[in-house]
Amino acid sequence: MLATFQLVTQLSTLASNLMHHGNAPSAGALPPLRIMPFGDSITVFECAVNGYQSAADHAIFSPLNETSGQNDQGTGYPYPTGTFFVTAHGGYRGFLGHTLAGDEGSAIGPVPNSPAWTFVGSQFDCGNHEGYGGETVGWLANRTTAIMTNAQPDIVLFMAGTNDFFWPVNDSHHGCRTPACLTARLRKLLDLAFAAVPKTTFLLSTITHINEARCKFYNTAHWHPGNCPSDMQDNIIAYNKLLPAIAAEYVAKGFDMQVHDVNAEAQFVDADYWMWGIHFNATGFEKMGNAWANAIKSSAKWKSRAAAACPCPVRQPVPSCCADQTLE
């Protein structure tokens, strides 16, 4: 009994010391907002410079900024003219993370007057996420219950649908050749997402437009996909126009959902696209990250969350947001 009392006393003292030195949150502190990027390869990207490059491409991309007029391993298909050097670690997620963190360089600690947050998801490439290269909304819907249940996100960043319109066949896993087909897949995913985590904030992006001229060379990629279907861009545009009405349906049911038009915000130009016109260079990913940051910061959940707690320890270095506070 004495040993138990001594242990409890020691733990109590330790907790008191932690509180005094600012290493533990106050009783009223809220946990960080759990933000989950969710989608296809545009969500994934990689923790690499020129992440779309393969070993087979090394000779072509040497130097990396000279590709005009070269062919893919003698196939006879010329690459589009342009500079295709990607430095976007984690795609848009890297740029988004820096924006939400304040990107204050040498600043220490959380950004003043902003909620604490963290990326969540079972995948990890320059941060946690739930991005799956090459997959469709139909495929993602079949895994949504497990993904949402495991991650328990406060905010979902959903961008997908490119692959549904890319595959030239209609089947449950791959192609979905009409906007009506894809909206049915989206509704299934949304129903499952809100059933698993009813209080989540679901931020839905429009599908990014493709660069049609470059996508005509997609079969020159080292994994030899087909070229983009002739109706792909028209399907993307038509589908995107349906999204605000779909979001309104779910808001009317009491769920928290918003749509943002990444194409209108980003105003993508040729230089923003990666070589084959579906994925993006660093400038395109940066624009995408900014669009997501705007969507997050305009959400009611972000605005309503109390400012990030900033514990101010006696020892150095002092977090930047504590600069104007008097330390005990």
What pLDDT was estimated at residue 66?
A: 40
Where are the chain's structural domains?
Answer: 31-306
Whether 302 contacts 238, CB under 8 Å: no
Q: Distance between CA 99 and CA 292 in Å, rounded?
A: 10
**DSSP letter, residue 123:** E
Buried b (16+ CB within 10 A) or exposed e, 98-126: ebbeeeeeeeebbbbebbbbebbbeeebb
Where do runs of H (alpha helix) occur along the chain? Answer: 2-20, 41-44, 92-100, 137-141, 144-151, 162-166, 179-196, 212-215, 232-252, 262-266, 282-297, 300-304
Maximum distance among all alpha carbons in the chain?
A: 84
**SS3 letters across 10-37:** HHHHHHHHHHHCCCCCCCCCCCCEEEEE
What pLDDT was estimated at residue 132?
A: 92
- Which of 108, 102, 122, 60 has its CA nearest to residue 312? 108
Q: Which residues of the chain have pLDDT under 70?
A: 1-29, 46-88, 103-113, 222-224, 306-328
What class is the 31-306 domain? alpha beta
**DSSP letter, residue 222:** T
Q: Distance between CA 146 and CA 134 in Å, rounded?
A: 19
What pLDDT was estimated at residue 90?
A: 83
What pLDDT was estimated at residue 86?
A: 59
- Which of 101, 153, 90, 88 has its CA nearest to residue 297? 101
pTM listed for this prediction: 0.79
Residues in the chain: 328
Report, in angstroms and rounded to the nearest whole number, the Rg of the chain calculated over CA atoms: 23
Q: Distance between CA 219 and CA 41 in Å, rounded?
A: 17
With tokens 């605005």, the residue in question is 303
Buried b (16+ CB within 10 A) or exposed e, 237-259: eebbeebeebbeebeeeebbbbb
